[in-house]
Amino acid sequence: MNVEEILVKQFGYSTFRPGQKEVIDSLLEGNHTLAMLPTGSGKSLCYQLPSYVLNKVVIIVSPLLSLMQDQAEQLKMRGEKSVITLNSFLTSVQKREAIERLDSYRFIYLSPEMLAIPRIIERLQKLEIGLFVIDEAHCISQWGYDFRTDYLNLGNIRSKLNNPLTLALTATATKTVQADIKEKLKLEHPNEVITSVDRSNIAYIVEEHSSYDEKLARLKELVNSFDGSGIIYFSSKKAAESVTRFLQENGVKDIDYYHGGMEQEQRMLIQQQFLHGQLRIICATSAFGMGVNKNNVRVVIHFHLPGGMEAYLQEIGRAGRDGKQSAAILLYCDGDEGLPLHLAEQQLPTFYQIEETLASLHILEAGIWNIEPKQEIELREMYALTDVQWRWITHFVKEFEYEDQFMITEKLKGISKARRIENQNKLERFFRWVSVSCCRRVNILSYFDVALTEKNQTCCDRCGVVTDELLASLPHDDLEVKELKKTWRQELAAILIGEAKTNEEQTS
């Protein structure tokens, strides 16, 4: 059976989207592959389809629980039962049983943190791995917008697994980030499938307002001016909640908020309600949307500025996955630059935090490997270290463990400084894009060194698009917005009961 037949039989599609066939052919020819395909272009098919040809285990490393869960559920809906997600939803007993039975699964989804567990590595080493997939591969690059230290060990993990055939997937990576991905994963001369980041069916609009109150009033108008689903992005959890309440008090009923500070079960429920039409609008931080397979999101609105061009494209890419006309609207007023700059600063430890933390570790004489949980808590409280800052410090201390304290301190300060400068440059470049006087689409593509091949009729506000006219002309999707009569705990219980039955069937 050729790949076109598998595409129809297993996935129900008649044609490939741009880039998919090239990635699949590259893998089936035995080539390590780096693929950059735009958000919403069906990247998961690039590893799911080859698995039915290779007929071996596929390992998928993913950064978010919601992303793993959503992709696993999509496979199950297509009739694929041999799929497992190793995550915090599993009890210790379920996790132990799953690890023992890893050879019975075709698709194994896990986080990079799970790959730090020796028992899991030992079990994976005994499997015949057909494909090792790193999803959201830009997370491995210190120059990527969503750099995560947990990804940095994946090159060593590949070596421990005997360097299996590898696919690195991303939607947004500059040439610098692409080079960094290849280096960190130890991929020598991989095939590269780099498609345009342009989503031609999304119109780009920036509206400038004179105050926060004016911007808030405009948001209310926008939410009431289109019928389809929408996501409103905020950089603040508090703002996502307060604006949701404001809109609810002003007659918007089918709306709720989502952010990383909520209980995990509640976040899962909100996501499911949005997917099934019980909620039309989500006010969210960037934690929402990755992997959410809803193809008819019509409008993405940014109430706050995103962290840069890559983050912006990831977030607006959740609109119009069905290929129909959609809109990306950014609301801006003077002073909005302060919040993303502040958030970027919080991602990294200060020089003071680096110096004092390393000095304390030296005094403890325990080293980062042997530090007691109580000591970790005390250090983090003493120097006001966030979880991200603590993991950043501990990763690089381990990397330079054979250096003396002074050298480690100077190296960490140097890495932190370079990263801060890069973050500031990204933000400044995005701020310039907000006020650019020429075509916004051309400017976005130039950021990734890509040229516009065909002019869009509905392009951006600089090319004549009028917000209200565009929203009035958007496709009208048939949305059945259901009244929520249960509490979120009752709703979630119904979802999890169905999930438990599915797991029982798989393990019986």
pLDDT digits (tens, 9 = 90+) for 47-106: 999 999 999 999 999 887 777 877 888 888 888 889 998 877 777 888 888 888 888 999
**End-to-end Cα separation, the chain, in angstroms:** 30
When the pLDDT of each residue in the chain is averaged and rounded to a whole number, the result is 87
215 and 72 in one domain? no
Q: Is residue 245 part of a domain?
A: yes
Buried b (16+ CB within 10 A) or exposed e, 382-404: ebebeeebbebbbbbbebbeeee
CB within 8 A of 287, min separation 6: which ones? 64, 66, 258, 259, 260, 267
Task: Please say which residue of 374, 407, 426 terminates a domain.
Answer: 426
325-to-218, 298, 310, 319, 381 alpha-carbon distances in Å: 22, 8, 21, 9, 49
47 and 112 in one domain? yes
370 and 242 in one domain? no
pLDDT at 409: 92
231 and 254 in one domain? yes
Q: Is residue 250 part of a domain?
A: yes
21 and 135 in one domain? yes
pLDDT at 493: 52
pLDDT digits (tens, 9 = 90+) for 181-197: 999 999 989 999 998 88
Pair of tokens at residue 346: 């919080």
153 and 66 in one domain? yes
Phi/psi at 251 (5° precision): 95, 0
Q: How far apart are CA 314 and CA 136, in angstroms?
A: 10
pLDDT at 468: 95
159 and 292 in one domain? no
Phi/psi at 302 (5° precision): -105, 110
pLDDT at 490: 54
Q: How far apart are CA 189 and CA 34, in angstroms?
A: 10
Most confident of 418-422, 438-442, 495-499: 438-442
Rounded to 10°, the helix 387-399/405-434 angle is: 130
Number of domains forming the structure of the chain: 3
315 and 225 in one domain? yes
76 and 88 in one domain? yes
Q: Is residue 383 part of a domain?
A: yes
pLDDT digits (tens, 9 = 90+) for 103-122: 899 999 998 888 888 889 99
Looking at the predicted structure, is the pLDDT value of residue 179 above 90? Answer: yes
pLDDT at 369: 55
Least confident window among 123-137, 324-338, 374-388, 470-484 = 470-484
pLDDT at 291: 55
Q: Is residue 446 part of a domain?
A: no
Q: Comparing 502 with 204, which gets the higher pLDDT?
A: 204
Mean of the pLDDT values across residues 11-34?
Answer: 93
289 and 405 in one domain? no
pLDDT band at 485 (very low <50, low <70, confident <90, very high): very low
Q: Is residue 60 part of a domain?
A: yes
Mean of the pLDDT values across residues 151-162?
Answer: 92
Task: Please say which residue of 140, 175, 195 terminates a domain.
Answer: 195
265 and 354 in one domain? no
351 and 326 in one domain? no
With CA atoms as reference, report the closest residue to 36 among 175, 181, 170, 187. 170
- Contact 322/381 with Cβ under 8 angstroms? no
Portion of the chain with pLDDT greater than 90, in percent: 52
Coil vs helix vs strand at 316: helix
pLDDT digits (tens, 9 = 90+) for 349-368: 999 999 999 988 877 665 55
Nearest 5 degrees, angle CA 323-CA 66-CA 43? Answer: 40
Range of the domain at 478: 202-340+457-496
Looking at the predicted structure, is the pLDDT value of residue 236 above 80? Answer: yes
pLDDT digits (tens, 9 = 90+) for 250-266: 999 899 999 888 887 88
pLDDT at 1: 67
201 exposed, middle or buried (CB, 10 Å; 0-12, 13-18, 19+)?
middle
Least confident window among 217-231, 279-293, 474-488 = 474-488
Q: Is residue 36 part of a domain?
A: yes
In what helix (H) or strand (E) does residue 13 lie, and over which residues does it extend? Answer: none
In 142-295, where do the E strands start and end? Answer: 166-170, 191-194, 202-209, 229-233, 255-258, 281-284
Reported for 68-77, long-range contacts at CB under 8 A and 24+ positions apart, including other chains, are 68/109, 68/110, 68/111, 68/291, 69/268, 69/291, 70/271, 70/291, 70/292, 70/293, 71/44, 71/109, 71/291, 71/293, 72/107, 72/109, 74/44, 74/293, 75/48, 75/107, 76/502
Which CATH number do you get for residue 74? 3.40.50.300
Coil vs helix vs strand at 22: helix
pLDDT digits (tens, 9 = 90+) for 327-347: 999 999 988 888 888 888 888
Q: How far apart are CA 228 and CA 504, in angstroms?
A: 37
Mean of the pLDDT values across residues 395-410?
Answer: 85
pLDDT at 290: 61
Task: Please say which residue of 145, 161, 195 terminates a domain.
Answer: 195
Q: Is residue 452 part of a domain?
A: no
Q: Is residue 7 part of a domain?
A: yes
Looking at the predicted structure, is the pLDDT value of residue 30 above 90? Answer: yes
- Contact 86/120 with Cβ under 8 angstroms? yes
Q: Is the pTM of this model over 0.95?
A: no
